């Protein structure tokens, strides 16, 4: 099992849709923000370091289950992520977006990211040293 990491995200007025809750597309922004933060803070390999090495990540598949709405008055949400597995050029990440003091699940799911080379834009196997670095 891999570690679960957490990032706090502030719910902003422009996140709110006409139904008075966070628009479904903003959940993806929250996940992206958390992964970017956690790559640097927790895994100690920032996105900039990947790019310097000639690599980048692209989302290749996403599943999300919306459990309960996030409202502006919720203030902040916690985005938890956990690496599920490496598979060649892909990495599978579990996520949970938690709201409120009781930390109820607002959404959960998985994102599959594919490592690509910046130069060609084509998939490339995740280097062994990165797999090792993520074994926390």
pLDDT digits (tens, 9 = 90+) for 38-80: 999 999 999 999 999 999 999 999 999 999 999 999 999 999 9
Global pTM reads: 0.93
Q: What is the pLDDT of residue 1?
A: 79
% of the chain exceeding 90 in pLDDT:
95
98 three-class SS: strand
How many CA atoms, within 13 angstroms, populate the side-chain half-sphere of residue 11? 24
Gap between the Cα atoms of 64 and 90, Å rounded: 18
- Among candidate residues 85, 88, 84, 83, the one with its CA nearest the CA of residue 127: 88
Residue 117's pLDDT band (boundaries 50, 70, 90)?
A: very high
Q: What's the total number of domains in the chain?
A: 1
Domain that holds residue 45: 4-133
Is the pLDDT at 101 greater than 90, yes or no?
Answer: no
Q: What is the pLDDT of residue 38?
A: 97
- CATH number of the domain within which 122 lies: 3.10.129.10
What are the helix (H) ranges across the chain? Answer: 24-41, 47-52, 128-133
**Residue 23, Cβ neighbours under 10 Å: how many?**
15
pLDDT digits (tens, 9 = 90+) for 71-90: 999 999 999 999 999 999 99
Q: What is the pLDDT of residue 100?
A: 87
């Amino acid at each position: 099992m891999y570690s679960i990491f957490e990032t706090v995200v502030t719910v902003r007025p422009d996140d709110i849709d006409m139904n008075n809750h966070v628009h479904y597309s903003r959940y993806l922004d929250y996940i992206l923000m958390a992964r970017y933060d956690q790559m640097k803070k927790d895994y100690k390999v920032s996105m900039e370091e990947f790019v310097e090495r000639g690599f980048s990540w692209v989302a290749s598949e996403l599943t999300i289950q919306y459990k309960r709405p996030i409202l502006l008055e919720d203030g902040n949400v916690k985005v938890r992520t956990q690496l599920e597995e490496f598979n060649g050029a892909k990495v599978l990440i579990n996520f949970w977006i938690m709201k409120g003091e009781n930390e109820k699940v607002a959404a959960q799911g998985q994102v599959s990211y594919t490592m690509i080379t910046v130069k060609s834009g084509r998939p490339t196997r995740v280097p062994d040293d990165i797999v090792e670095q993520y074994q926390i």
